[in-house]
Amino acid sequence: MNAQADGGVSAVNRALSALLAFGDAPNGLMLAQVSEATGLNMSTLLRLFESLEMFQFVKRMPDGRYVLGPATFHLGMMYRESFQLREHAVPLLTRLSEETAETSAFYVRDGDERVCLFRAYAQRAVHTNVREGDRFPLEVGAAGRILLAFSGTRGGDYDKVAEQGYAVSIAERDPESAAIACPVFGVGRSLAGAISLGVPRYRFNKKVLADYLPRVQAAASELTHTLGGDLPVSASVPAAIGPQGELQD
């Protein structure tokens, strides 16, 4: 984390950079490690940590390590209690649908089915149709394949989906539609759901896939970031879909 970020109050920027250094260090950090991670010198960090410890954002252990303090836990719980997924997911889906003029949706797993929690319709006369609350088998469609692959299902296409970070389906749930889906993660890399973009089959081709996949990935990445998770690195756009059918050039 660059402690010299533009804008804001420099002392606050430095303090927050120091706190963010603990994001991947559950057992705490020595002062030198925080210095290396942030680029801040140790004398500056000592002064910052005096203030942060006073307000219980960090705690100094007997062996010299610093760990996050109870104030960070309290703020995290407050954020969790105030967080409304719809308020964050629906604007993202709406933007994705506006960018692509196609229908977008957010799915979660419920047993052996996937459920559409939220959706945004395309502003076109012909578009894929899904309603909030609709249920579909997990084994059918790109979103279902994402939910299975990132829940630990292995073999077949699931290994490839887990490796590349997205799924594509053609004429599975509906013989006249195709879909692109990417996973959304929460804290601790827990699977939160899948963002899917549905496209009528007659409009779906390699150019559309190359254009839309990065947009779906960006939406999934943004929602993952909002949920406090991290997204796997995605592979390049595939040239063909294999057993799901060939894309038209």
* Strand residue runs (E) in the chain: 58-60, 66-68, 103-110, 113-120, 135-137, 167-170, 177-185, 191-200
- The region of weakest confidence among 36-50, 72-86, 102-116, 210-224 is 72-86
* 32-43 mean pLDDT: 94
pLDDT for residue 184: 94
Backbone Cα Rg of the chain: 22
pLDDT > 90 in the chain, percent: 58
Diameter over CA atoms, the chain: 67
Domain spans of the chain? Answer: 10-80, 83-244
pTM value?
A: 0.67
Identify the CATH assignment for 83-244 out of 3.30.50.10, 3.30.460.10, 3.30.450.40, 3.30.43.10. 3.30.450.40
pLDDT surpasses 90 at 82? no
10-80: CATH, from 1.10.10.10, 1.10.599.10, 1.20.81.30, 3.30.365.10: 1.10.10.10
Q: What is the mean pLDDT of the chain?
A: 85
- List, for residues 207-223, the tens digit of each pLDDT value: 999 999 999 999 999 99
Phi-psi region of 126 (alpha: psi -120 to 50; beta: other; left: phi over 0): beta
Q: Is the pLDDT of residue 39 over 90?
A: yes
